Amino acid sequence: MQRTKLETDKRSLLNRMHIDGWLLLGLLTLMSLGLCVIWSAGGKDLALIERQVIRLAFAIGVMVLLAQIPPGAFRRVSVFFYVSGLLMLIAVLAVGTVGKGAQRWLDLGFMRFQPSEIMKLAVPMMVAWYVSKFTLPTKLKDVFIGFVMVLVPTLLIAKQPDLGTSLLIASSGLFVIFLAGLSWKLIGFCTLAAGLFTPIMWLFLMQDYQKQRVLTFLNPESDPLGSGYHIIQSQIAIGSGGIEGKGWLQGTQSQLEFLPERHTDFIFSVFSEEFGFIGILALLALYLFIIIRGMLIAVRAQDAYSKLLAGSITLTFFVYVFVNMGMVSGLLPVVGVPLPLVSYGGTSMVTLMAGFGILMAISTQKRLLSR
């Protein structure tokens, strides 16, 4: 098939910039959709949109920047990245700033940031680095060491307490181990162990507010004006959207402010109310498109480290989607995970786009000699 000269030039431009076109298309579509929903959820606040656009631009910049780095470089800094992240987590617990009832922030004088965000990338990098040193599938001993690498930061973050992030970090590490060929027997055993661990977690590890969230999740109507209020209003918003939705800017639950956290964690409820079940199908298709593209990049990657890291980043992206939608629709307890690239907010967006930058680097920078 003949290509026109223009098309060839375009393609080559993206190639030269190490950008995966399909992935970029999916991400930009998602971001634009997000801005539309924020416009509605935020009460047509232009300042809010401006701030979000600036964040998105910055995040895209980070992605493009990381896409230029050869994947080998990520592998080489994995250990350093992980260890320094771990040290910062310990620092947070010791001297961190308290915000919203949790100790998550590290104040560096000129800026505040959450070390847990670094760990979202550092943990899969570290585990991928470790298991890719050896032949896959990973041996039991190395699986165990991998688990420890995942468990330590997970517990440190859970202690802050930040249940949502620790869940995301744990899964990002476990995905690497899974993709590296964790034996099915062990998976069965771990599932069983997790089941037994639940009551211990309830009794000794969970904070009161976390227990309350779980209880509310199990029966939101028990406290409709208190802790159950969020989830009930969210379900009303989603349910009243129906098949076709109430239309953009027409959602009564969101426009009349019955829905809490409209433009952040509960933005999916706003979307569902205004665009209905049809809108949800379209949104999920978009997410699925990005995930399939990510998994394709993982499978096509050149070395084990890149494959494992790319797969983990993609699957963790899905965990965001699943946990957020699950929690606002009452399937999961409310754990404070944003809807990726749609929710208003900065920190996690930059981390997500950094992950996609790594994916693009893996996708576009292949050494010719390996084939």
Partner 1 sequence: MPPRRIAIRDHTAEANLVARRAFMALILVGIMLLVLLNNLYKLQVTRYEDYQTRADGNRIKLLPVAPNRGLIYDRNGVLLAENRPVFRLEVIPEQVDNLDDTLSELASLLSIDADRLDDFRKDMASQRRFKPVALLGSMTEEQMALFAVNQHRFPGVSIEARLKRFYPYAEALTHVLGYVARINKRDLQKLAVEGQEANYAATHDIGKLGVEKYHEALLHGEVGYQEVEVNSRGKILRTLRFEPPTPGQDLILNIDIRLQQAAVKALEGQRGSVVMLDSRDGGVLAMYSNPSYDPNLFVHGISSKNYNALLANKNKPLINRATQGQYPPASTIKPHLALLGLEENVITPTSKMLDVGKYTLPNVSHTWRDHKATGHGYVDVTKAIVVSCDTFFYDLAYRLGIDRISDFMQQFGFGDYTGIDLYEEADGIMPSRGWKKAARNEPWYIGDTIIIGIGQSFWTATPLQLATSIMELANRGIHYHPRILRGELQPTGIELLPPNESEPLRINKQSNVDVVLHAMQEVVNDPVHGTARTAFKNTDYVSAGKTGTAQLFQIGEDEEYDEKKVAAHLRDNAMYVGYAPYDAPEVVVAVALENAGGGGSNAAPIARIMMDTYFNQAKETHAAN
Return residues touching partner 1 (CB under 8 A): 134-137, 175, 178-181, 233, 235-243, 252-253, 256-258, 272, 276-277, 280-281, 284, 288, 291-292, 295, 298-299, 304, 307-308, 311, 315, 318, 322, 325-326, 329-331
Cα→Cα distances 42→34, 202, 254, 259, 351, Å: 12, 36, 9, 11, 23
Smallest distance, partner 1 to C-beta of residue 181, A = 5
Minimum separation from the CB atom of position 277 to partner 1 (A): 5
Q: Which is nearer to partner 1, 160 or 343 (CB)?
A: 343
Q: Given the complex with partner 1, which of 62 and 298 has the nearer CB atom? A: 298
Which residue number, 41 or 92, has a Cβ lying nearer to partner 1? 41
Beta carbon of residue 370, minimum distance to partner 1 (angstroms, whole number): 9
Question: Least distance (Å) from partner 1 to the CB of residue 307?
Answer: 5
Residue closer to partner 1 (CB basis): 28 or 299: 299
Of residues 137 and 228, the one with the C-beta less far from partner 1: 137
Q: At closest approach, how far in Å is the CB of 316 from partner 1?
A: 11
Taking the complex as a whole, the smallest distance from the CB of residue 330 to partner 1 amounts, in Å, to 7
- At residue 342's C-alpha, the angle toward residues 336 and 348, to 5°, is 50
Decide whether 60 or 327 has the Cβ nearer to partner 1: 327
Three-state SS for the chain is CCCCHHHHHHHHHHHHCCCCHHHHHHHHHHHHHHHHHHHHHCCCCHHHHHHHHHHHHHHHHHHHHHHCCCHHHHHHHHHHHHHHHHHHHHHHHHHCEEECCEEEEEECCCCEECHHHHHHHHHHHHHHHHHCCCCCCCCHHHHHHHHHHHHHHHHHHHCCCCHHHHHHHHHHHHHHHHHCCCCHHHHHHHHHHHHHHHHHHHHHHCCHHHHHHHHHHHCHHHCCCCCCHHHHHHHHHHHHHCCCCCCCCCCHHHHCCCCCCCCCCCHHHHHHHHHHHHHHHHHHHHHHHHHHHHHHHHHHCCCHHHHHHHHHHHHHHHHHHHHHHHHHCCCCCCCCCCCCCCCCCCHHHHHHHHHHHHHHHHHHCCCHHHC
User: HSE-up of 102 (CA within 13 Å, CB side)?
Assistant: 19
Q: How far is the CB of 298 from partner 1 (least distance, A)?
A: 6
19 or 298, CB closer to partner 1?
Answer: 298
Identify which of residues 70 and 326 has a Cβ nearer to partner 1 in the complex: 326
Nearer to partner 1 (CB atom), residue 155 or residue 278: 278
Q: Nearest Cα to 262, choosing from 287, 242, 234, 240?
A: 234
Cα–Cα distance for residue pair 234/255, rounded to 1 Å: 13
Q: How far is the CB of 369 from partner 1 (least distance, A)?
A: 13
As a whole number of angstroms, the distance between CA 238 and CA 277 comes to 9
- Least Å distance, CB 239 to partner 1, is 3
Measured over the CA atoms of residue 357, residue 358, residue 362 and residue 366, the dihedral's sign is positive
CB of 266 to partner 1, least distance (A): 13
**Closer residue to partner 1, CB minimum distance, 6 or 369:** 369
